[in-house]
Structure 1
Amino acid sequence: MVNWIGIAAINMAIAVALGAFGAHGLKSLVNEQQLAWWHTATLYLFVHALGLLLVGILVRLNYATQTTAWLLQIGVLIFAGSLYAMTLGAPRWFGAITPIGGVLMIAGWLWLAVTAFRLGRA
């Protein structure tokens, strides 16, 4: 079984580090649009790291499945990763994969809802 709590903690540490880098190291190197991409990526990474922490706990308690965690993790990596890449110079067309990450994150949350309803536990 994957240690989703540990992965969530690593994601949170990365989000803090990348947020600090964006706030202090990138301001003079990128334009406002790129800084906005960085901010959005960091926000989604942080929020979904917290969500993954909760899902990791729920997986251990058998209230959620690993599928939810995988969808969230892969989704946030694609979503935030593509925005970080564009900020650092990847071509704009690279942003075409960003929505794939968003769809995977939505699917992860919906899968958690389906699982919760199937289990019938409150």
Structure 2
Amino acid sequence: MTNDPIHAPHRWPAAVGALYAGLSVAAAAYASHGLDGEAQSRLMLAAMFGFGHGVALVALGRQALRRRAAVALWFLLVGVALFSGSLAGAALAAWPTRAAPWGGMLMMLGWLLLAVDSLRR
């Protein structure tokens, strides 16, 4: 990708995806060694979704140049923040998980948009 400012917004999902993946490794390690019970399960689930979607954002973020695909990646990015963030907050700080369903819906919508975009290529 060039330094063209038109393509710059598409770099953010890839960069944030890499951060999600890295943070997810740390979260899984902490869950494995520092938590147990429901907190451990929640943090491991948050790490699993964060890592998987982080890798997807890195892989797809560098090539999503059409509007529909770019919107889909932003849905994934925000969805992971809400879903995994909500579960991690519950595990680490006893926060409510009210944002998790919204994050899950955004992730599902993002994948659906990517499927439609792939069929329209």
**Structure 1: unaligned runs, 5 residues or longer:** none
Which residue type is aligned with residue 39 of structure 1? M
Q: Which of 59, 65, 88 matches 2:92?
A: 88
CA deviation digits over 1:79-121, x for unaligned, max 9?
Answer: 0001011112334xx22321110000000000101111222xx
CA deviation digits over 1:60-93, x for unaligned, max 9?
Answer: 5x596210110001000000001011112334xx
Shift of 1:13: 1.0
Q: Does 1:36 align with 2:24?
A: no
- Alignment length (residue pairs): 112
**Structure 2: unaligned runs, 5 residues or longer:** 1-7
Aligned position for 2:3: none
Residues 76, 111 of structure 2: 8 Å contact kept: yes
The alignment's C-alpha RMSD in Å is 1.9
**Could you tell me how far apart the structure 1 residues matched to 2:33 and 2:19 are?**
21
TM-score (normalizing by structure 1): 0.81
Q: Does 1:56 align with 2:71?
A: no
Q: Which of 8, 13, 19 matches 2:22?
A: 13
Mark the CA change 1:58 to 1:90 in structure 2 (over 3 Å): closer, same or farther. Answer: same
CA deviation digits over 1:9-39, x for unaligned, max 9?
Answer: 1111111111112112234xxxx11111111
**Could you tell me how far apart the structure 1 residues matched to 2:17 and 2:58 are?**
5
SS at structure 2 position matched to 1:69: helix
**Could you tell me how far apart the structure 2 residues matched to 1:34 and 1:5 are?**
29
SS at structure 1 position matched to 2:97: helix
TM-score (normalizing by structure 2): 0.82
**Could you tell me how far apart the structure 2 residues matched to 1:9 and 1:89 are?**
24
**Could you tell me how far apart the structure 1 residues matched to 2:99 and 2:16 are?**
23
- Deviation >4 Å, runs of 4+: none
State the percentage of identical aligned residues.
Answer: 30
